[in-house]
Amino acid sequence: MKKDLKNFTLEELGGYLAVNRYPGYHAQQVLSWVYQKKAEDFSCMSNIPAALRKKLQDDFYLSKLNLIKRLVSRDGTRKYLFELEDKNTIESVLIPHKGRNTVCLSTQVGCKYCCRFCASGAFGFARDLSQAEILNQILGIGKDIKNKINNIVFMGMGEPLDNYDALLRAIRIINAKYAFYIGQRKITISTAGLVEGIKKLAREGLQIELSISLHSAVDAKRDTIIPLNMKYSLNKLLPSVREFAKLTKRKVTFEYILLGGFNTAVRDAQALLELIRGLDCKINLIPFNDVAGAGFLPPAKLEVLFFRDYLLKYNIDVTIRQPRGQDIEAACGQLRMRHLNQ
């Protein structure tokens, strides 16, 4: 049975070539065709010997995603619904801003963790994405926009650190000169708080960004919106975050979705200040993008400004993420949920 070449690393492809008595340097040439020149067939790889092209054709195939739907927002945000080979569907998002193109990638079909404010887990968890399926999202979006992608954020469907091996393999290819060549500091992983994954990531020797999906600094509240908190409470999560920051020398970001009337009061801001005391970090405030059935309302403008100003008063590095793609339901899982409900 043929194998998907995009599931191979440079080293693995080099091993295949060695076994078949071809020079190892062809591995980088082949992968450059795949990721830089966007080749969809081995026959076009003109600097690869004809005999090797035939051997590759016999043993491998080049997968791609099937675009089911693309929605374009008034603000330029693009939401993609892709179909996989097994007919499962995933979402990706393009966010253009001031000459930069950021893509938000999924790592799983569905999600195990069912955070209340997120639609990704509405239909449960199906499976992890392969390395190829992660990378094909970048290729699919790049083919659509025909512009350079500058930033990668793993904030789409699924919990990235729950698909750790495929995630890290994909990141190393995204960063490689022969592939997308996107700098490590332009790659962000967002996690709901898988402590073992954070600790492992801290020791990978990478300079990628870590973003914690926090949303409350009070365990009792966080339990109700992020079920994973009942396993990894804040007194377990924060030491792993501090360890990551210490080992990598990177400033961690805490994402804080502002849910109207739920986590926007003075006591919530005070709890957050206490939680991050002594930690060099950023707070990214995110006004809730309404998800059907979540049971929350977007915050009032005054709630947002009050919460930001309270943190600024204590010299916290805080920003408000401007809502993007609201007219196309760009929040995680919304497009897939609508598709599956049809």
Residues composing the chain: 342
**At 36, phi and psi to the nearest 5?**
-95, -45
Q: Distance (Å, rounded) from C-alpha 224 to C-alpha 229?
A: 9
Q: Of residues 91, 159, 303, 329, which has the active-site annotation?
A: 91
Helix/strand/coil for 232: coil
Residue 10 CA to chain centroid, in angstroms? 22
Q: Helix, strand, coil % (nearest 5) of the chain?
A: 40, 20, 40
Residue 133 is among the residues annotated as catalytic for this protein: no
Residue type at 337 in one-letter notation? M
Query: Which run of H or E residues covers position 59?
Result: helix 50-59
Q: Distance (Å, rounded) from C-alpha 294 to C-alpha 119?
A: 8
Residue 332 is among the residues annotated as catalytic for this protein: yes
70 beta partners: 80
- Which residues have CB under 8 Å from 142's CB, separation 6+? 38, 149
Active-site residue list: 91, 332
